[in-house]
Amino acid sequence: MGRFLVLLGNFQFHELLESRGTFQAEGPVPRRSLAHRLWLILDAGALWDTKLRKIQYKYSSGDSCRDMGHSYSIRLMKEGDAHRSVALTNLMNWGLEVDDFSFMMQLEPKGCFVAVRGDDVIGVTTSISFGPIGWIGNVIVEPKERKKGVGAALVSEALQHLKAEGVATVGLYSYWNTVSFYESLGFKADRNFSWLVCRKASWKGKSMTNLDSRDLQVVVIFDEQCFGASRKRLLKAIYHSPIGICHAILEGDKPVTYLMATRSATSGEIGPWICLPGREEDGFRLVRALGKELLGREVHLGVPSDRVDVVDLLSSLGFVEDFPVVRMVCGPVPPDWNCVLAIESLERG
Ligand SMILES: CC(C)(COP(=O)(O)OP(=O)(O)OC[C@H]1O[C@@H](n2cnc3c(N)ncnc32)[C@H](O)[C@@H]1OP(=O)(O)O)[C@@H](O)C(=O)NCCC(=O)NCCS
């Protein structure tokens, strides 16, 4: 693609050009200064790149960042950080355990980050790449360290990692009150979801046997057609986990719907739950069949808020909304995710 240089000297003009996605500034941009010179490079179609670079200008330049004289740095998460990461996420009652961070580090060792000041972990985030689609989650900063650029630096680091892995579209689930935080980092609100909870599962349904491991491959392919990228690594890990459950309905060797869930002694999480449009009755059978396996547990799942049929079914089983979230996307929106009845998780899409 052809590139040429333009010399300009107006900050607002730079913002305007960047927001159109065709220009990106090269070199540091003094945000508050009005009298400065900007080198802009034409690079049509590079909106993703532009957004990423915009973040980099603000927060990067090596590993160490400075705020009001105190420095912190972003580095890869290590096993030893998991306890502190759990303590941070407990502030938001996300219900994560050390194993959850270990799982993320196994899945994406170069995509989990912590912000540290001295020896203290002051923020975390995790990410995962599925070829063209990537996901960011678990973004949290120690309360007294907020509004100093730490959260943006963590998300920026995750975006850089995902881009290096070849990801074109990055998604995440945001609370309503953090939408503008992610917007400032280049994300756009895409669809509303509801995080539902059933405090004590007590519904009944006809039990089903777990998916035969020989059929896992066709489920993985089916999932890729619906989600837009292969989640083989993740689905295999859930399937083979001692806490994993997987049910599917196949016609011949073609799945029409499948569902995965995980359960501990006291809780369960359902997702992904995927179903061909028009085959929802089959999809609903899968959830009902979980009644026995999740009996007495607190169960969570995230569903598209506009899927009234799904929300109605789950209400009839005792689910209520815990909180709403907004799916936000940076990069081209994949064409059709309408067969996703429940997300895999808030942190992995
Ligand atoms: C959301 C969170 C991670 C932001 O971290 P942070 O370190 O405070 O964010 P930063 O200082 O990097 O802020 C970057 C920009 O976003 C803005 N911002 C930060 N938090 C915001 C919020 N909650 N709502 C709107 N804007 C926000 C900042 O003002 C800043 O804007 P600026 O560059 O124009 O000054 C932090 O508030 C947090 O841990 N919240 C609790 C956990 C949470 O809600 N996580 C998100 C899960 S979806």
Strand segments (E) across the chain: 5-8, 23-26, 38-42, 64-67, 70-76, 112-117, 120-130, 133-141, 169-174, 188-198, 244-251, 254-263, 267-275, 298-304, 320-330, 340-342
> Is residue 327 a part of any domain in this protein?
yes
Mark whether 40 and 65 lie in a shared domain: no
Best substitution site from 178, 325, 330 to test ligand 1's pocket, by max atoms within 8 Å of Cβ?
Answer: 178
Mark whether 237 and 210 lie in a shared domain: yes
Mark whether 78 and 18 lie in a shared domain: no
Mark whether 260 and 131 lie in a shared domain: no
> Is residue 91 a part of any domain in this protein?
yes
Q: Please give the distance, rounded to the nearest whole angstrom, from the Cα atom of residue 173 to the centre of ligand 1.
A: 14
Task: Check pLDDT > 60 for residue 35.
Answer: no
User: How many whole angstroms separate alpha carbon 24 and alpha carbon 48?
Assistant: 11
Structure tokens that stand for 215 in this block: 């059929």
Q: 283, exposed or middle or buried, with CB in 10 Å at 0-12, 13-18, 19+? A: buried
pLDDT band at residue 29 under the 50/70/90 scheme: very low
**Mind listing the pLDDT tens digit for each residue in 241-267?**
999 999 999 999 999 999 999 999 999
Ligand 1 atom closest to Cα of residue 147: 11
> Is residue 236 a part of any domain in this protein?
yes
Q: What pLDDT does 336 receive?
A: 66
User: How many whole angstroms separate alpha carbon 248 and alpha carbon 223?
Assistant: 11
Closest Cα to atom 43 of ligand 1: 140
> Is residue 347 a part of any domain in this protein?
no
Best substitution site from 32, 65, 122, 147 to test ligand 1's pocket, by max atoms within 8 Å of Cβ?
Answer: 147
Q: What pLDDT does 31 receive?
A: 34
How many domains is the chain partitioned into structurally? 3
Q: Please give the distance, rounded to the nearest whole angstrom, from the Cα atom of residue 146 to the centre of ligand 1.
A: 7
**Mind listing the pLDDT tens digit for each residue in 265-298?**
999 999 999 999 999 999 999 999 999 999 999 9
Q: What pLDDT does 47 receive?
A: 46
Mark whether 121 and 80 lie in a shared domain: yes
User: How many whole angstroms separate alpha carbon 200 and alpha carbon 279?
Assistant: 28
> Is residue 178 a part of any domain in this protein?
no
Mark whether 105 and 200 lie in a shared domain: no
> Is residue 305 a part of any domain in this protein?
yes
What average pLDDT does this structure show over 111-133? 97
- By residue range, what is the domain housing residue 231? 196-342
Mean predicted lDDT score pLDDT of the chain:
85
**Ligand 1, CB cutoff 6 Å, lining residues:** 92, 139-141, 146-152, 174-175, 177-178, 180-181, 184
Mark whether 17 and 155 lie in a shared domain: no
**Mind listing the pLDDT tens digit for each residue in 149-158?**
999 999 999 9
> Is residue 75 a part of any domain in this protein?
yes
pLDDT band at residue 54 under the 50/70/90 scheme: very low
Which amino acid, residue 160?
A: Q
Task: Check pLDDT > 60 for residue 221.
Answer: yes
The answer to whether residues 187 and 175 touch, using CB atoms and an 8 Å cutoff, is no
> Is residue 182 a part of any domain in this protein?
no
User: How many whole angstroms separate alpha carbon 21 and alpha carbon 19?
Assistant: 5
Q: Please give the distance, rounded to the nearest whole angstrom, from the Cα atom of residue 24 to the centre of ligand 1.
A: 24
